[in-house]
Structure 1
């Protein structure tokens, strides 16, 4: 079959969502296009529908509907899902970068309509964006020309075009992944950067093969889930391969497996398992297939419009609350703030969503890396085990050591990232021997050559250690060949400086870098000002999501620059973890942002009965903004507000009845109950 446009896919998805006729005007309104565009897209689609035994029926004054058996419609829906080829963008700047890369990659002319379809915007938007991006490529001696009726052409030297593409692609990993460029290289680089940490326990050859399998898989999974989810999937599959080779079996409840086989992503799980079997010459047991499916259910869709229907349902909301509490507990135990690590948040979300299903059904999972994790990272494993008591308390389940070992991988990777963030810190080291001349001078030279992140290595005598204030002189660490007393952390080494000594020195340097990271103790107290300053507004939900979000932002600020910054951050967060809870008819927009100095909460209700397709199941919602870095009491307050919005029916009723007074009373009462 020929490639079909994303716009036509969107139209068919609307028609597949119901059995009655849908008018062209409703289709146009739902997709934010003209009626003429609807007519043009639906012209001559018989050949596309024929293999699925479906027909497009049209009636004057009624519109269109798809006619055929239910199972044929389901097959057609899966086909549409696999052929969606649109790009997610989180800001106007990123959209323009995507346009520029596509133009630079093209050979000859590219039609405006092609770009409009890929980015789900109008041709006029593409034209305006092209005018805005022209100055950004002027430094490469490249220009873009548009010829009416033909398309867009890039004029410039081939070498300059390649350099422009390279600079654009490697400036943004997520955009690179969205375009399918060098995905294997970028994902492997992620693991390579943390090769010395806990993720280094994964089999490197298997990991590389798994990435290659996913990149070449026929289900296009790399285009459909975020890079964070892709990394989590790679970890899951690499561990599963190890488990199968070791002959370790996991058991999935037969009834549960029968139920989850009805999930949309079951086909994806089968395709991935089949590809892994072919590459590794192993057999994936059916129970392992079920675990792949449960993991896929926890992934985040890449497409910004979230067409696959993978909204964050109540189960995933439970995972979100758990993640927040886990990071709170881990931060409190370690005395460092991990809330700003987006990769940790998304990684834990992707892991916990399927884990909640497993744990709730008393299903255990085997982790073949558990002995290595306990052996090499026992202290971290113990901390994560204490942290995981949150899961036991919230879900009233037992959390096995195998499950804790998986969580340890995620928290361990977060610690490694903190170390990497600290690599820009240059340390001052004093090397101590009796005289400060002989051995210490030799050691200083060896240390300096092995650790480029050291700014100063100074030979010191014992007298200097005893009589001078080395701390005020800026020394961070001492390396000594004999016992000394000092308030500065000290590593004792052999005068010949063995590999063991170098390893101990690196560990001490990493600990100092982490200790220099600002610490944030978690204080579980509320900020009453946030509740007192809550705003309540009515919003027209019969419009596009971006318009809804922008309307809410107007209640927060009238500063144009800040409006755009908030909008971009909210859209980015939506792409990673959308929160739509259909059972409660509730949507939440939230993000952390550096350019605000306090937390904001805006609650909203639908001000009419009309709804666009995206909001057809929504009655109320909220936007919550948190300063970055956050104040612990602000985060705790917003976390409790979001929990109350989902769990307290009286609060939802008060929002719909437009009673701000009742809303505040309910929230203050809820806070008091949580603190008792």
Structure 2
């Protein structure tokens, strides 16, 4: 048997996957090696070829190295026989498992994985742990039950996008004939058809991508799944030559699969203009996530908890969004309307920020995309003072993905100051937390003896009341005969037969799970801009003034009423000096504010209207300067939303410039009411 070093295999795989000669520079970049190492590898491979009585690797002057068709057949056989599943690295095993478990044709249990890779039970558990960590970034989750074994759950497009992504990684390391969950004969049939289409289309398609698509089709074509193509007009697809070719060569696929295959084929053109070098794209997406978080902090003055985690989670989300975009696939967030309804202020702020950075996003900003970004931010806003003050340990069970579970965790902790969310996990992991929790908040039905309630992924008012009712049974706030009691049950059990106590608890928890409440959470009314812009907080001037002087002048009413301190004013000015005129939005409006701890004693707003310009270094024509103060990091988001609405293109603020104070107050009320 021919033995090749890892670098030699990677070199040959690169030549095998490409029809065109590969230049030395391309090889250096792809394999991350030096020019000298390229020559060394070529010489070593030529020694192997000599032993096999083969011609040396071809080198076309000015173009690069390539393999002939006969050489490719031999190399393909060598790589296939040399690589077995038993010598995969842990990372490669994880990638294999992801592809295997996405649409398993047979039940997969621990013993099956041990046998396949010839590894220990502990190694399997470590691989599964790494797998969970790998896929939770992408809104899919690992599921297990005793009867059906392991599988990966999630929305159709999420699963398919990830499947193709990891198949491409896997096929760079393992020959498709070594992947045991593939039907090799069918893969080759699909691959041959795709190659015929490519030939008819003048070889426009990347051959390596065609093989990956053939493997994908083999895995998914038998699954009965429907797709929503509303974002991509079907009449546009019907015009493509790709669809006509697929209708001809893939008559055995249903119409949904043909449309889906058409999109993948369109996305696999070798000359696609939207392709970026992976390292370049990664840097771009990471910088985008960092810029968005920094801008949000500056423009809202909200504190972000675990900022680095938020940046990383956005970065991973952007990678997936970019991937969908490259495939011309649009993912719809099923929680979009819930986000808009329950996080309307935050959603609008994120929407405004993203639109202001539109040229930095390498993919289309749909409402669904913005709602996903909103969920990531919502899960990392620092909590404010809650309504209850007992140490309650809660477990979150939410299989919908990391952004949803992070947001739900933050919502629960935000409501109740002394709640500790132990973890957010999948249902199969509940047992490991059993001794450390008081109850479970879940978005799915559970089969467990631990007290639990079912809520929506984004909490409604009734959900919050359910949690409050459950907490009332556990809070250490009851006092009887100078003794403290751990929840209501600890009092009741003094008067109830121990045999009946278990039944009583079960019936009470069932009562809550059916939607009955004993505590009603009254949600605080959101104050609007018209509610906090008072007549004496409005200043009207007609003179040229610099931006820093304008901030000081606009702040006077808030300073006089002790809503803000002098330090708060200095902090607002300092932020603009540090970051430039980021406070300027649209429609000649600027909004100055700082973080609560800088000296914000209460919620308040003042408005300076200048008939002439408020001057910035960039010659910006600003006539309206709002100063906002908030003692609560979140309560001013509605005010920011209202001001942002005033800055929209369809509102004409020129009418304010020549009005008196009373007329201005009335106009602001009317404008806000319109929004």
Give the alignment's TM-score, normalised by structure 1: 0.33
Give the alignment's TM-score, normalised by structure 2: 0.34
**Greater RCO structure (CA 8 Å; 6+ sep):** 1
